Amino acid sequence: MPPAAPIPQGVADEENSYLDRTRSREVRRRSRRLLGSLLAPVRKMFALTVVLVVLAQAAKVAGPALIAWAVDRGLPAAMDGDWGPVLGFAIAYVVCAMVAGGGTAGYIRFAANVSQAILLDLRQRVFRQTQRLSLEFHESYTSGRIISRQTADLEALRELLDNGITSLASGLLFMTFTGISLVLLDWRAGLVLLVAVVPVWLVTRWFQKRSQVLYRISRVASARLIVNFVETMTGMRAVQAFRREQANDVVYGELTEDYRRNNVRTMGLNGIYDPALQLIGNVTVAVALAIGSFRVLDGGMEVGTLLATLLYTKRFFQPVQQMGMFYNSFQSASAALEKISGLLEEVPTVRAAEQPVTLPKASGHLRFEHVRFGYGEETVLPNLDLDIPSGQIIALVGQTGAGKSTVAKLVARFYDVNDGRITLDGVDLREVAPRDLRRAVVMVTQEAYLFSGTVRDNIALARPDAPDADIEAAARAVGAHDFITALPDGYDTDVNKRGGRVSAGQRQLISFARAFLADPAVLILDEATSSLDIPGERLVQRGLQTLLADRTALIIAHRLSTVAIADRVLVMSQGEVVEDGSPEELISGTGSFAALHKAWQDSLV
Amino acid sequence: MPSGHTTADRNLTASMPPSTAVVATLARLYPFLRPALPRLVAGMLCALGASLCALSIPQVLEWAVNGPLLGSAAGGDRAGVWSAVLLVLGLGVLEAGMVAARRAFILFPGTRVEASMRMALFRHLQDLPLAFHDQWPGGQLLSRSMADLGQLRRWMSFGLIMLVVNTTTIGVGVGLMVHMGGILGVAYLCGALPVVYFSYRFSQRFRRISRLSQDQAGDLATTVEESVHGIRVLKAFGRGREAYQSFSAQADELRSTELSKARTLGGFTFAITTISEAVLGGCLLLGVWLVVDGQLSVGALLAFFATAAVVNGPVEQLGHLVSMTLYAKTAVDRYFEVLDTENELRDPARPIRPEKVVGDLVFDDVHFQYPDEPTPDQAWRDPARPSEAPRTEVLDGIDLHVRPGETMALVGLTGCGKTTMISLVPRLFDVTSGSVRVDGVDVREMSRHDLREIVSIAFEDATLFSATVRENVLLGAPEGQRSEADLDRAVTVAQADFVRDLPHGLDTTIGEEGLSLSGGQRQRLALARAVAARPKILVLDDPLSALDVSTEEAVTAQLRQELAETTTLVVAHRPSTVALADRVAVLQEGRITAVDTHSDLLAQNAHYRFVISSLSPEAETGAEPKAVV
């Protein structure tokens, strides 16, 4: 890599599954770090789980030994009429069984506690992170990908946690026990095992290299599938209206096939790895048999010892398959954690200040000082200076692309300026404590998104602790009360279930009511009335007059009816304010606003 | 924070879908499973073969030790040792080969069945009417398509086979134990009977919990989806923290459900492990007594316990496998719940196509009310529950005739049913009674594909897909007739020339995965899309709402020319949009109360003035004049 190339970070190379070695190692390390940090808070519970696993395994191993003793020692005693030993062994056996059962039940529960605590933690981290990330990020990452991180990727981790860790612990334990027993029994037989570890290691390395890439591809393929699914379902109205069903089938079919083919490849890889481990184990047993037998024949070994070494060798390899399964789910979870850790690594472009300035009661005085801003390469605002005294109502007017919405988004701090600064009551927006900023500045956008829940919930979003009376008052103020009470359950109507019935205009009224309830010092309306009909707009207009008394307001509306209530009109063009004055001044002038206003007047009847 | 709504957050026991038997559920899988069946069976046979090899290796080892090493004369039987080694090696290779073969056989069934079921679901979802999609949250559908089908694949590739192998092993093992041990075996069998009872109880309970957990996971996905789609609102009001708290609470509920699932599984595992082992402990005593009594040989006793040890493993795994099976069953149930949803808006058996498509549109006594269908959660909660909501009709006898080539504006108050009414034309919803006819043919008599080729629609909130501008605009254009000229024309008519200045011009990717556009820009593209479809009938839902006055004027002028030949029904909120129309229909309280020209209506109809005019006396009073209706 040339030194000048930027080092990809976060989600930048998420779609790339063939990473070079350094990057691959970095990404893996990142994913392991995440796993470590998730395990840290639950390490005690985790340790307890392992203890229970050990206990249960020990009890399980003890079972056959007790039976052997019962037959070897108890039976002769019983023959002689002494039932004590047999009874003792039987009781011990039952006790062991209960310990094994209890231990197993216990570790299932504790392992679930560990795994659920980790999953909850990770879910919360991802959710918090997606809420924290700036709009800039969301505008390209898509909801489908976030959902895929939160569902399919977490599912992969869950597989590992639910089954993997216990099988790793019990497997390792079992192998250690049998390994040690074998070495103690006959160190030369132990050497055979040691030699067998070499091919196991080689096969595992081979598997690791291949599966790493395949699982990465798998994560990408599954995310694409989800992204496409979510997009299709969200846009179902357009899909059906424009007969896209068959074309979508083709696209989704290809993605499904990609995903399937990749699953076949990963499963196929496992289909080699798993029997390969089995083969190594079985061959080792055969080798041990051959070597041992000739040693017996040459008198170098007792037959009993041979039998024992063979059984131990066989048992040593029993959990190897389990370990293979563990390694497999570990690889899959690692790939998922790579993606999740990338998302978590993303740094919001709009950040909270390290030492935030509290602004509990903002008056709403806004200032733009030499503000330069652009999306990516393209500059939208070259150098904007603007002073908006508190309480002033501004109408922002201009062509599409003039930068009106950008001004609005900068004030709401959806983005940060590239250069210069915007102040609220003299404090740089970037320094204001986020909570205070959100209380002081509220923006109503054109897309009036309703969350599932009731109409009341949706209005109360602006102030979750608002009493019903306030919510109703807000709805009345914007003229939404009448249609809300006409809904089947009034304010308690579930908007999701009646989604088809809340019209675009009604949604805008609800989001207006939100703004009313929020009671901010600065209110930004970005095309917030576009879907209202004329009576609705009249009502809102009237509501606005009350609402905007002693409030700073930035109103972007192509319907110039809003201008009537503005104190000041700013006409923007190519990121600059080209006309600035009271509505009366501008209308009576000869500028572009006068022409615009005349055209609008003419359109009215 | 409103997003705390869930479909499964009530209580655990009160109301669950009618539980069907595992077998019945799996029988539903049969059509999907059938092509994969031979491979599945072959996989099972290989698995059984592998277990057989695994079981016989210890026997050979024992034989090798007892036979060639000890049995023959001093010095041993070297040839015998070699054959034993080769036998062990052969069996070992065979076992590994069988495992590899099982894996290879199972590769396709699991993934193919998953893929074909996923496609079937997707197709069905695209076919289902909007009324369905209005009621089913996205996350629930997604969780069925991804998590549930993934679960099924894993079960088919692993759980099913292991279940069959383990059950066989247990069956054969217990059979052998009865055969070898006689009374001892029978005692073991009787002692183990409670396991059956516990299995039954466990499966009842586990099924309920796993259903709950899968539903909750779907709700959680819905919340995630909403939190991203509504991110602007959450940011604008600074409600990230509340959204987080509500999400956390929901995730915590899922966690509790998962924990109670684990507790149930743990309890079951404890029961079966201890019961089967305690019974073995008892058998030990009984066995020794039988030996002492001379009814059983020591060898048979040892063989009995050796076999018990082989059975032991599968019994212990049983809990895991049964839970996996139940989980897969629930997943399949959830899947079929959606796939079985009947489409009430189907194509007719014998679709009719109008002989000559001229674009004559008639609403004949159209009534419509939204189907107060029980919501997905209620559907299985209480199917008999009558709707509490008063069934008010949105449309109450609409009569309207839009002549070929005519442009008709539809005017009415917000929420009076304009969007509903125009949605009936391309059959996004179906009328409750009456009919909508295109060129004399009831739209329900036509295939939806034909109908939607004749009728094109542009909604106010334009949905753009993650694709290039070109693909988005030509979305509805008939296949094979997508010319660059059409594209150009549509873009020009809709005043969407800004797309030519995008980084890659018409090939710029827009939509969620691409460049974000402003509301006005999106609306113009939606309009361009409707125009590019070259429909005979064009339905526009307030198509200019987000445009500024001058753009609107330009679009109107272009559209008027463009629409000369096209029958157009346009929802209008403003006089400037009405200007497009030849005539205006006034929609009021579910009926068309007047159809006339704009100027006549303005002169004679007070309601119309109230709705459309900013300058008339009605506008000043701000209240609806009651007398006119």
What digits encode the pLDDT tens for the residues A475-494? 998 889 988 988 878 899 88
Q: Does B144 touch chain A (CB under 8 A)?
A: no
Distance from CA of A145 to the nearest CA of B (A): 10
Give the residue, A343 or A352, on which the prediction is more confident. Answer: A343
d(C-alpha B50, C-alpha A266), whole Å? 22
* A516: Cβ contacts below 8 Å, ≥ 6 apart: A462, A474, A477, A478, A543, A547
d(C-alpha A291, C-alpha A284), whole Å? 10
Of A108, A152, A500, the CB nearest to B131: A500
Q: Does A271 touch chain B (CB under 8 A)?
A: yes
The half-sphere exposure of B86 on its side-chain side, counting CA atoms within 13 A, is 6
- Tell whether the model's pLDDT for residue A49 goes beyond 80: yes
Assign A298 to helix, strand or coil. Answer: coil
DSSP state letter for A70: I
Name the one residue in this structure whose structure tokens are 């039988």. Answer: B290
Across the interface, do B127 and A239 touch by the CB < 8 Å criterion? Answer: no
Across the interface, do B549 and A599 touch by the CB < 8 Å criterion? Answer: yes
Which chain A residues have a beta carbon less than 8 Å from that of B502?
Answer: none
Of A74, A155, A533, the CB nearest to B147: A155
Which chain B residues have a beta carbon less than 8 Å from that of A142?
Answer: 466, 512-513
Q: Give which of A504, A510, A512, A525 is closest to A453, Cα–Cα.
A: A510
d(C-alpha B492, C-alpha B555), whole Å? 9
Strands B583-588 and B591-596: antiparallel
Sheet holding B591-596, edge to edge: B455-458, B537-541, B567-571, B407-411, B583-588, B591-596
- Sign, CA dihedral A518-A519-A523-A527, equals positive
Alpha helices per DSSP H over A133-186 = 135-141, 143-148, 154-159, 165-185
d(C-alpha A311, C-alpha A306), whole Å? 9
What topology is assigned to A21-345 in CATH? ABC transporter transmembrane region fold (1.20.1560)
Q: Does A412 touch chain B (CB under 8 A)?
A: yes
Q: Does A142 touch chain B (CB under 8 A)?
A: yes
Of B224, B231, B415, the CB nearest to A506: B415
Across the interface, do B81 and A293 touch by the CB < 8 Å criterion? Answer: yes
Supply the DSSP string of B313-336, one letter for each residue: HHHHHHHHHHHHHHHHHHHHHHHH
**Amino acid (1-letter code) at residue B364:** D
d(C-alpha A68, C-alpha A15), whole Å? 58
Interface test with A, best of B70, B234, B277 (most A CBs within 10 A): B277
What's the alpha-carbon Rg for chain A, to the nearest Å? 35
Strands A419-424 and A366-375: antiparallel
pLDDT at B331: 93
Cα dihedral: B156, B161, B163, B166 (round 10) = -170
pLDDT-based confidence at residue A426 (cuts at 50, 70, 90)? very high
Q: Which residues of chain B have pLDDT under 50?
A: 1-18, 373-391, 627-629
E strand residue ranges, B369-414: 395-402, 407-411
d(C-alpha B147, C-alpha A372), whole Å? 46
* B242: Cβ contacts below 8 Å, ≥ 6 apart: A461, A464, B1
d(C-alpha B177, C-alpha B47), whole Å? 22
Q: A492: nearest CA in chain B?
A: B2
Distance from CA of A288 to the nearest CA of B (A): 9
Enumerate helices (H) and strands (E) in chain B, giving the number of each. 23, 12
d(C-alpha A31, C-alpha A38), whole Å? 11
A434: left (phi over 0), alpha (psi -120 to 50) or beta: alpha
Name the one residue in this structure whose structure tokens are 């099972």. Answer: B44
- Tell whether the model's pLDDT for residue A265 goes beyond 60: yes
What digits encode the pLDDT tens for the residues A551-587? 999 999 877 877 778 999 999 999 999 999 999 998 8
CB contact residues (below 8 A), chain A span 57-86, against chain B:
63-64, 67, 70-71, 74-75, 78-79, 86
CB contact residues (below 8 A), chain B span 558-577, against chain A:
573-576
Tokens of A43: 């390490």
Cα dihedral: B431, B433, B436, B441 (round 10) = 120
Which chain A residues have a beta carbon less than 8 Å from that of B259?
Answer: 109, 112-113, 116
Q: Does B194 touch chain A (CB under 8 A)?
A: no
Label each residue of B176-193 as H, E or C.
HHHHHHCHHHHHHHHHCH
CB contact residues (below 8 A), chain A span 239-268, against chain B:
239-245, 248-249, 252-253, 256-257, 259-260, 263-264, 267-268
pLDDT at B539: 93
Across the interface, do A147 and B2 touch by the CB < 8 Å criterion? Answer: no
Q: Does A140 touch chain B (CB under 8 A)?
A: yes
Across the interface, do A120 and B266 touch by the CB < 8 Å criterion? Answer: no
Q: Does B533 touch chain A (CB under 8 A)?
A: yes
d(C-alpha A292, C-alpha A312), whole Å? 13
What digits encode the pLDDT tens for the residues A234-254? 889 889 988 889 889 999 999
Q: Does A24 touch chain B (CB under 8 A)?
A: no
- Tell whether the model's pLDDT for residue A164 goes beyond 80: no
Give the residue, B629 or A49, on which the prediction is more confident. Answer: A49
- Computed over every residue of chain A, the mean pLDDT equals 88
B187: left (phi over 0), alpha (psi -120 to 50) or beta: alpha
What digits encode the pLDDT tens for the residues A512-563? 899 889 989 999 998 888 888 888 888 888 888 888 888 999 999 877 877 7
Neighbours of A390 (CB within 10 A): 16
What topology is assigned to A449-519 in CATH? Rossmann fold (3.40.50)
Question: Which residues of chain B does CATH 3.40.50.300 include?
Answer: 361-369+393-585
Give the residue, A334 or A16, on which the prediction is more confident. Answer: A334
CB contact residues (below 8 A), chain A span 335-364, against chain B:
none
Distance from CA of B319 to the nearest CA of A (A): 11
Across the interface, do B99 and A278 touch by the CB < 8 Å criterion? Answer: yes
Residue B206 near residue B323, CB atoms below 8 Å: yes
Tokens of B254: 């899922």
d(C-alpha A459, C-alpha A453), whole Å? 10
**A393 phi and psi angles, rounded to 5 deg:** -105, 120
Domain residue ranges in chain A: 21-345, 449-519
Across the interface, do A274 and B99 touch by the CB < 8 Å criterion? Answer: yes
**Contacts A–B by Cβ distance under 8 A:** 541
Q: Does B419 touch chain A (CB under 8 A)?
A: yes
Across the interface, do B91 and A314 touch by the CB < 8 Å criterion? Answer: no
Assign A355 to helix, strand or coil. Answer: coil
Let me know the angle formed at the C-alpha of B173 by B168 and B174, rounded to the nearest 5 degrees: 105
Q: What kind and span of H or E run contains B287?
A: helix B240-292
- Sign, CA dihedral A41-A43-A48-A53, equals positive
The complex's ipTM works out to 0.89
Of A226, A241, A445, the CB nearest to B236: A445
Give the residue, B371 or A262, on which the prediction is more confident. Answer: A262
Dmax over Cα atoms in chain A, in whole Å?
124
* A310: Cβ contacts below 8 Å, ≥ 6 apart: A285, A288, A289, A292, B61, B65
Mean pLDDT of A113-136: 94
d(C-alpha A132, C-alpha A127), whole Å? 9
Residue B265 near residue B203, CB atoms below 8 Å: no
Burial zone of A294 (CB within 10 Å; 0-12 exposed, 13-18 middle, 19+ buried): middle
Residue B472 near residue B510, CB atoms below 8 Å: yes
Q: Does A574 touch chain B (CB under 8 A)?
A: no
Q: Does B293 touch chain A (CB under 8 A)?
A: no
What topology is assigned to B361-369+393-585 in CATH? Rossmann fold (3.40.50)
Question: Which residues of chain B does CATH 1.20.1560.10 include?
Answer: 2-339
pLDDT-based confidence at residue A230 (cuts at 50, 70, 90)? very high
- Tell whether the model's pLDDT for residue A271 goes beyond 50: yes
What digits encode the pLDDT tens for the residues A59-108? 887 777 788 788 888 888 888 888 888 889 889 988 988 898 899 899 88
% of chain A beyond a pLDDT of 90: 43
Strands A552-556 and B455-458: unpaired
Which chain A residues have a beta carbon less than 8 Å from that of B312?
Answer: 63
Which chain A residues have a beta carbon less than 8 Å from that of B611?
Answer: 533-535
CATH 1.25.40.10 for domain B2-339: no
Which chain A residues have a beta carbon less than 8 Å from that of B542?
Answer: 504, 531
Which chain A residues have a beta carbon less than 8 Å from that of B449?
Answer: 243
- Tell whether the model's pLDDT for residue A411 goes beyond 90: yes
Cα dihedral: A336, A342, A348, A353 (round 10) = 100
Q: B411: nearest CA in chain A?
A: A533
Give the residue, A165 or A509, on which the prediction is more confident. Answer: A509
